[in-house]
């Protein structure tokens, strides 16, 4: 069977490699000049990449190695800050009075997350009213096996806001800020938004070891795996149309007019763009068209790159020079930042997610709305760079002396440069109504579409997430099995 | 006192707290021949549903001011109509704007279409369609407020059967409505409404229903589902959202009290209790603040869960995990009340006159941005300078509420966070400033308002806690968030009115199905007690 995979982001690469290893003839089309999408130069975190997929694709033979994630440092203006190790034993010393609570919290996660993780490693359940009941009941029973106390706790905290949940356990605002920041990735929420605990659990369920060398090493390994298994890789090849005839996908037309035919088409770009822009509207049922029109993907991500003369050294902990750092001293700092998103304003006090190497720092800002009133302009872009330095200055007084801003990507720039609709790194906000069997909608979450032979496999599909590879992998299994 | 003496359980049940739910529970128990005593702390029954003449000739529905979901079967069972209950429907929902006539939503579809058309022809077309969809979902959701909360974690046959019935009903909705129901339960009000409507002037007042009584904003996930309440309400058998009881909301309480008395219940006012009396971990009666002890086979609390358990029972007498859950229970009063006595009717500048547009509720909700900003202030511990206000003029619907030509104006105000940054006990220092913010806001729409005011009563959530006794002044006895609803209200596994203390039952808005003048918790609790043979 021949398959065209649209979009060479990490999910496209995973899907292409998997399909090729199943013995299919795979062509991977990427509109940009290079592969990897948001994994190639935008996002930092690789700890959600599925180790099962790495194993199945034998990425180790292409140089992929995993390691325990680096601790995150949260600097403070009044005190030594917090160096947060994920492992509770390592974290204990830094956490002081919160150490026991953190151990209990980690133990709770360890009990309840395997169920969530198993859901993330399988195709979304079919919850349509005509669907079979047995698989649903099986999942229900698996959930029930967690035991009543933990079930009650999951159902109670899931819909709650992450600030409440964490405040029930922890004293330290630094710790609460560090944990809640993660819950907000890919969402349009602040830590006071109900259901942000659910996204916290979702993130935790995906997280494990991280890739040595970061996201770019992962992309290198995935590209090598594709090449090695015979995938035809075509960069700078932008699809302008998915060809459909008699309700069936036949292939694609690429910019310039070339037509490529295949037995199946798997789109690993956003579901909305796939269905509303690449498919002629006459081929798409009105229900799915409506669902896609309502999909929410308001990007809030921006990035500032710094060239460093010397590593960033935080005044509250001289000499530490951490690889990972979160600038936010209190969950309410994150909430205030989200207030600006909500009101489509330029953020003022920026929480920062910093990833630094010897000479460079990449700083992600997650409170810059693509819907900015008046739009993004050169001045606004410069302002964002200035605000970033201003946010760092209280913690790194010499920042202006050692750092030079080399690149600023506003959400609008990210939308443009990474070909992301809404500038959204996950092709759809993470929210309860856009997760699981509802991601991106009830009829599209299981990879198949109303158009025969057309499948979806980006992060906009269950289980979503950042650089996890799961949607692409599961899509490849579904495509391969039909 | 019965002839058997003080310790031989002369009462089958003592109801603590004479709010509308406590009274309802008492009425149902008395109706089944049980000997019931209601103890109310204040000088009158009704709790938050009271009418008081605070200024000569002017009667205020002091706290609760409209009814929507008062269950018809309870009205019938308790003969409330015969006991004087009369509810008149609100005729309009008016949202004034400063620079245009604003929006009136009427019961009449054609009139509605004309109004909404001015804002958006597309929205005018979608509005009735939206109503139909919500109506269908409301029919699915309604049984939940009339029966015990289903427990999805229980494996007992009775619970599995109930869960299966709910699941069957859910699947019978069909795919599109199932998807819509899932969205409705999880989305923010504004996001949900934007899937149907484009005009912010329409979306803003519609989204308000989701924030009433909660410490959430119109964009907060989980606030959409309350939209259903508008399509679940029934007044006199017709599905109308909101109504005003003739005589104020106190008239509802009075009618229930009259019914309870007729069935033989005893009601004692000015009888605050100090504790629920326990013996070997079992509730055996109550101890009044004056030291008197009254014994009963069962004690039923019409008070909120925090007050009931943490104060009347005491943390030390509760199982540790239950106490811990209660300490995490979110009360979070977020609303206040400003009641005004007026010398004459203060007309709206953009829609003058005393027409049908003011014979309903008036929402100060000019835009979603306005509402969200109001929430932002409260989030950090300040009352909103420009709050969301829901106004009703009871004297237009019931002339008995004010002297001829004069009026009363009831303003439900949000946000007034119980937890001010300077602490809840600092409310007395901020109360009048809060009242001023409300009047200033309203005066922008009603320029003569300030000179028309004869008397002003300002109630912060702290005042509501002091006067009515509700913890943190939360009118619903606890946030109506997904995590505190259905089988989790107030605590997972304890949503069926029974409590970890044998002989103690919870029958208040802090139990399933929650707040509003619904009377369901009281009635369902009493039925469950009778079924279980507890009285």
- A453: domain CATH number is 3.50.50.60
Residue A40 in any domain: the answer is yes
- Average pLDDT (B506-519) is 95
B234, B263, B295 — which closes off a domain?
Answer: B234
Residue B241 in any domain: the answer is no
Residues B364 and B445 in one domain: yes
Residues B115 and B56 in one domain: no
pLDDT greater than 50 at residue B350: yes
Domain count, chain B: 3
Q: Judge whether A128 is closer than 8 Å to chain B, CB to CB.
A: yes
Q: pLDDT, tens digit, for every residue of B127-155?
A: 999 999 999 999 999 899 999 998 888 88
Residue A243 in any domain: the answer is yes
pLDDT band for B228, please (50, 70, 90 cuts). confident
Residue of chain A nearest B371, judged by CA positions? A343
Inter-residue long-range contacts of A256-260, CB under 8 Å, 24+ positions, other chains counted? A260/A4, A260/A27, A260/A29
Residues B457 and B510 in one domain: no
pLDDT at residue B1 in the model: 38
Tokens read off for B157: 């046959």
Which residue range is the domain that position A395 belongs to? Answer: 302-417
Per-residue confidence in pLDDT tens, chain A, 482 aa: 999 999 999 999 999 999 999 999 999 999 999 999 999 999 999 999 999 999 999 999 999 999 999 999 999 999 999 999 999 999 999 999 999 999 999 999 999 999 999 999 999 999 999 999 999 999 998 998 999 999 999 999 999 999 999 999 999 999 999 999 999 999 999 999 999 999 999 999 999 999 999 999 999 999 999 999 999 999 999 999 999 999 999 999 999 999 999 999 999 999 999 999 999 999 999 999 999 999 999 999 999 999 999 999 999 999 999 999 999 999 999 999 999 999 999 999 999 999 999 899 999 999 999 999 999 999 999 999 999 999 999 999 999 999 999 999 999 999 999 999 999 999 999 999 999 999 999 999 999 999 999 999 999 999 998 999 999 999 999 999 97
Task: Tell me the H-state helices in B208-350.
Answer: 227-232, 250-262, 305, 320-327
Tokens read off for A421: 């609709």
Residues B424 and B527 in one domain: no
Residues A307 and A408 in one domain: yes
Whose CA is closest to B169, among B198, B203, B138, B192?
B138
Q: Tell me the DSSP string of A76-87.
A: -SSS--EEE-SS
Residue A78 in any domain: the answer is no
A431–B175 CB contact, under 8 Å: no
Contact in structure between A385 and A405 (CB atoms under 8 Å):
yes
Residues A103 and A186 in one domain: yes
Residue of chain A nearest B193, judged by CA positions? A294
Which residues on B lie below 8 Å from A148 (Cβ)? 153, 493
pLDDT at residue B151 in the model: 85
Whose CA is closest to A475, among A35, A113, A17?
A17
A180, A203, A226 — which closes off a domain?
Answer: A203
Residues A251 and A347 in one domain: no
| B145 vs B143: CA distance, rounded Å | 5
A181, A203, A225 — which closes off a domain?
Answer: A203
Which residues on A lie below 8 Å from B421 (Cβ)? none
A438–B171 CB contact, under 8 Å: no
B179–A442 CB contact, under 8 Å: yes
- Average pLDDT (B219-226) is 94
| A467 vs A216: CA distance, rounded Å | 11
pLDDT greater than 60 at residue B487: yes
Residues A162 and A306 in one domain: no
Residues B341 and B320 in one domain: no
B195–A294 CB contact, under 8 Å: yes
Mean pLDDT of chain B: 94
Q: At what angle do helices A99-120 and A196-206 cross, to 10 degrees?
A: 80
Q: Which of A190, A197, A201, A433 to mutate to test the interface with B (most CBs of B within 10 A)?
A: A433
Residues A405 and A442 in one domain: no
pLDDT at residue A460 in the model: 98
Q: Are strands A352-356 and A302-308 parallel, antiparallel or unpaired?
A: unpaired
pLDDT at residue B235 in the model: 56
Residues A198 and A216 in one domain: no
Contact in structure between A421 and A415 (CB atoms under 8 Å):
yes
Q: Which of B130, B153, B190 to mutate to test the interface with A (most CBs of A within 10 A)?
A: B153
- CB-CB: which of A148, A168, A432 is closest to B221? A432
Residue A80 in any domain: the answer is no
Q: pLDDT, tens digit, for every residue of B429-466?
A: 999 999 999 999 999 999 999 999 999 999 999 999 99
- Distance from the Cα of B170 to chain A's closest Cα (Å) equals 8
Residue B99 in any domain: the answer is no
Q: Which residues, in sequence order, are bridge partners of residue B89?
A: B243
pLDDT band for B234, please (50, 70, 90 cuts). low
- Distance from the Cα of B26 to chain A's closest Cα (Å) equals 31
Residue B100 in any domain: the answer is no
Residues B291 and B210 in one domain: no
Residues B301 and B426 in one domain: no
pLDDT at residue B232 in the model: 81
A179, A203, A227 — which closes off a domain?
Answer: A203
pLDDT at residue B239 in the model: 56
Residues B214 and B176 in one domain: yes
Q: Judge whether A168 is closer than 8 Å to chain B, CB to CB.
A: yes
Which residues on A lie below 8 Å from B380 (Cβ)? 332
pLDDT greater than 90 at residue B5: no
Which residues on A lie below 8 Å from B183 (Cβ)? 433, 438
Residue A83 in any domain: the answer is no
Encode B393-422 in three state secondary structure.
CHHHHCHHHCCCCCEEEEEEEECCCCCCCC
Which residue range is the domain that position B368 belongs to? Answer: 331-467
Residues B275 and B292 in one domain: yes
End-to-end CA distance of chain A: 10
Residue B391 in any domain: the answer is yes
pLDDT at residue B236 in the model: 53
Residues B394 and B295 in one domain: no
- Distance from the Cα of A232 to chain B's closest Cα (Å) equals 39
pLDDT at residue B155 in the model: 84
Residues A388 and A355 in one domain: yes
B467, B488, B515 — which closes off a domain?
Answer: B467
Domain count, chain A: 3
Residue B306 in any domain: the answer is yes
Which residues on A lie below 8 Å from B186 (Cβ)? 159, 195, 431-433
Q: pLDDT, tens digit, for every residue of B60-116?
A: 999 999 998 899 999 999 999 999 999 999 989 999 999 999 999 998 999 999 999
Residue B178 in any domain: the answer is yes
CB-based contacts of B21, cutoff 8 Å, min separation 6: B47, B302, B507, B508, B509, B519, B521, B522, B525
Residues A191 and A97 in one domain: yes
| B229 vs B285: CA distance, rounded Å | 37
- Average pLDDT (B489-518) is 95
Those residues of chain B whose CB sits closer than 8 Å to some CB in chain A are: 152-153, 155, 171-176, 178-179, 182-183, 186-187, 191, 195, 216, 219-222, 321, 328, 330, 369, 372-373, 376, 379-380, 481-483, 488, 492-493
Residues B417 and B451 in one domain: yes
Residue A76 in any domain: the answer is no
Q: Tell me the DSSP string of A357-380.
A: -SSEEEEEES---TT-TT---HHH
- Residue listed under structure tokens 């106004």: B391
Residue A86 in any domain: the answer is no
Q: Judge whether A224 is closer than 8 Å to chain B, CB to CB.
A: no
- Distance from the Cα of B327 to chain A's closest Cα (Å) equals 9
Residues A290 and A438 in one domain: yes
A168–B328 CB contact, under 8 Å: yes
B153–A148 CB contact, under 8 Å: yes
- Distance from the Cα of B446 to chain A's closest Cα (Å) equals 28
Residue of chain A nearest B179, judged by CA positions? A442
Residue B103 in any domain: the answer is no
Residues A282 and A431 in one domain: yes
| A285 vs A282: CA distance, rounded Å | 8
Residues A321 and A382 in one domain: yes
Residues A165 and A312 in one domain: no
Residue A17 in any domain: the answer is yes
A148–B178 CB contact, under 8 Å: no
CB pairs under 8 A between A and B: 85
pLDDT at residue A456 in the model: 98
Q: Which CATH number is B34's domain given?
A: 3.50.50.60
B482–A159 CB contact, under 8 Å: yes
pLDDT at residue B4 in the model: 40
Residue B5 in any domain: the answer is no
- Distance from the Cα of A156 to chain B's closest Cα (Å) equals 5
pLDDT band for B3, please (50, 70, 90 cuts). very low
Contact in structure between A69 and A51 (CB atoms under 8 Å):
no
B221–A287 CB contact, under 8 Å: no
């Amino acid at each position: 069977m021949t398959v065209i995979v649209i979009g060479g982001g990490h999910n496209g690469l995973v899907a292409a490699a998997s399909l090729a290893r199943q013995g299919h003839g795979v062509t991977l089309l990427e509109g940009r000049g290079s592969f990897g999408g948001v994994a190639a130069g935008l996002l930092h975190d690789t700890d959600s990449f599925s180790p099962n997929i790495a194993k199945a694709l034998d990425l180790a033979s292409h140089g992929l190695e995993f390691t325990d994630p680096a601790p995150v440092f949260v600097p403070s203006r009044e005190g030594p800050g917090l160096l947060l190790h994920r492992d509770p034993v390592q974290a204990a010393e830094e956490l002081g009075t919160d150490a026991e609570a953190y151990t209990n919290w980690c133990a709770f996660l360890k009990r309840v997350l395997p169920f969530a993780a198993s859901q993330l490693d399988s195709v979304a359940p079919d919850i349509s009213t005509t669907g079979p009941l047995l698989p649903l009941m099986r999942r229900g029973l698996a959930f029930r096996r967690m035991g009543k106390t933990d079930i009650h706790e999951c159902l109670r905290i899931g819909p709650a806001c992450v600030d409440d949940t964490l405040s029930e356990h922890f004293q330290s605002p630094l710790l609460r800020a560090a944990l809640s920041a993660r819950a907000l990735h890919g969402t349009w929420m602040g830590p006071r938004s109900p259901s942000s605990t659910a996204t916290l659990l979702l993130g935790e369920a995906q997280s494990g070891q991280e890739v040595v060398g970061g996201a770019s090493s992962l992309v290198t390994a995935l590209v090598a795996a594709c090449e090695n298994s015979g995938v035809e890789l075509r960069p700078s090849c932008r699809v302008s149309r998915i060809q459909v005839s008699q309700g069936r996908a036949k292939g694609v037309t690429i910019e310039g007019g070339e037509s490529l035919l295949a037995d199946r088409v798997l789109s690993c770009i956003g579901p909305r763009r796939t269905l509303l822009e690449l498919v002629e509207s006459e081929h798409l049922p009105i229900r799915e068209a409506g669902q896609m029109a309502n999909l929410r993907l308001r990007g809030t991500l921006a990035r500032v790159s710094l060239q460093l003369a010397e590593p960033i050294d935080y005044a509250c902990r001289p000499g530490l020079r951490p690889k990972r750092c979160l600038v936010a001293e209190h969950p309410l700092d994150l909430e205030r930042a989200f207030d600006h998103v909500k009101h489509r304003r330029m953020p003022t006090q920026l929480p920062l997610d910093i990833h630094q190497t010897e000479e460079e720092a990449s700083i992600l800002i997650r409170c810059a709305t693509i819907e900015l009133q008046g739009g993004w302009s050169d001045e606004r872009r410069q302002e964002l760079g200035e605000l970033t330095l201003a946010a760092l200055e209280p913690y790194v007084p010499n920042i202006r002396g050692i750092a030079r801003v080399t690149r600023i990507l506003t959400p609008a720039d990210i939308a443009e440069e990474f070909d992301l609709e809404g500038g959204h790194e996950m092709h759809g906000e993470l929210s309860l109504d856009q997760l699981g069997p509802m991601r991106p909608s009830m009829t599209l979450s299981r990879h198949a579409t109303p158009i025969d032979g057309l499948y979806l496999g980006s992060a906009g599909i269950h289980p979503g997430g950042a650089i996890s590879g799961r949607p692409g992998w599961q899509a490849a299994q579904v495509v391969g099995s039909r | 006192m019965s002839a058997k003496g003080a310790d031989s359980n002369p009462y089958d049940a003592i109801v603590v707290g004479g709010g509308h739910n406590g009274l309802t529970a008492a009425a149902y128990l008395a109706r089944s021949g049980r000997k019931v005593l209601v103890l109310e702390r204040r000088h009158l029954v009704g709790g938050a549903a009271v009418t008081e003449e605070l200024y000569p000739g002017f009667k205020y529905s002091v706290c609760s001011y409209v009814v929507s979901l008062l269950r018809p079967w309870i009205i019938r069972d308790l003969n409330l109509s015969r006991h004087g209950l009369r509810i008149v429907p609100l005729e309009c929902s008016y949202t004034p704007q400063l620079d245009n006539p604003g929006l009136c939503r009427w019961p009449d579809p054609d009139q509605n279409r004309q109004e909404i058309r001015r804002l958006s022809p597309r929205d005018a077309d979608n509005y009735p369609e939206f109503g139909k969809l919500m109506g269908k979902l409301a029919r699915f959701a309604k049984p939940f407020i009339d029966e015990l909360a289903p427990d999805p974690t229980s494996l007992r046959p009775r619970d599995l059967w109930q869960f299966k019935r709910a699941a069957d009903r859910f699947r019978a909705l069909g795919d599109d409505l199932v998807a819509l129901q899932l969205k409705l339960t999880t989305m923010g009000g504004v996001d949900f409404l934007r899937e149907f409507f484009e005009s912010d002037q329409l979306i803003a007042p519609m989204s308000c229903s989701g924030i009433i009584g909660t410490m959430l904003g119109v964009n907060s996930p989980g606030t959409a589902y309350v939209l259903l309440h508008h399509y679940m309400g029934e007044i006199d058998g017709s599905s109308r959202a909101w109504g005003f009881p003739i005589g104020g909301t106190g008239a509802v309480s009075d009618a229930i009290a009259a019914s309870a008395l007729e069935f033989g219940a005893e009601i004692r006012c000015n009888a605050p209790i100090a504790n629920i009396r326990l013996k070997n971990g079992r509730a055996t009666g109550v101890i009044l603040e004056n030291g008197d002890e009254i014994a009963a086979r069962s004690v039923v609390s019409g008070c909120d869960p925090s007050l009931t358990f943490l104060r009347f029972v005491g943390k030390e007498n509760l199982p540790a995990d239950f106490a811990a859950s209660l300490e995490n229970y979110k009360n979070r009063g977020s609303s206040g009340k400003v009641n005004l006595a007026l010398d004459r009717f203060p007309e709206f500048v953009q829609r003058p006159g005393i027409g049908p547009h003011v014979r309903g509720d008036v929402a100060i909700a000019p835009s979603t941005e306005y509402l969200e900003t109001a929430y932002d202030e409260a989030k950090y511990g300040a009352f909103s300078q420009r709050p969301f206000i829901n106004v009703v003029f009871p004297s237009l619907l019931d002339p008995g509420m004010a002297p001829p030509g004069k009026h009363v104006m009831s303003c439900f105000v949000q946000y007034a966070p119980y937890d001010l940054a300077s602490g809840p006990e600092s409310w007395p220092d901020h109360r009048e400033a809060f009242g001023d913010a409300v009047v200033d806001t309203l005066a922008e729409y009603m320029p003569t308002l300030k000179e028309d005011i004869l008397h002003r009563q300002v109630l912060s959530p702290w005042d509501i806690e002091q006067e009515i006794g509700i913890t943190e002044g939360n009118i619903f006895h606890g946030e109506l968030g997904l995590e505190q609803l259905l089988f989790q209200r107030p605590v997972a596994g304890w949503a069926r009115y029974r409590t970890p203390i044998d002989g103690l039952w919870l029958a208040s808005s802090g139990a399933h199905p929650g707040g509003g003048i619904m009377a369901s918790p009281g009635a369902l609790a009493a039925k469950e007690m009778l079924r279980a043979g507890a009285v």
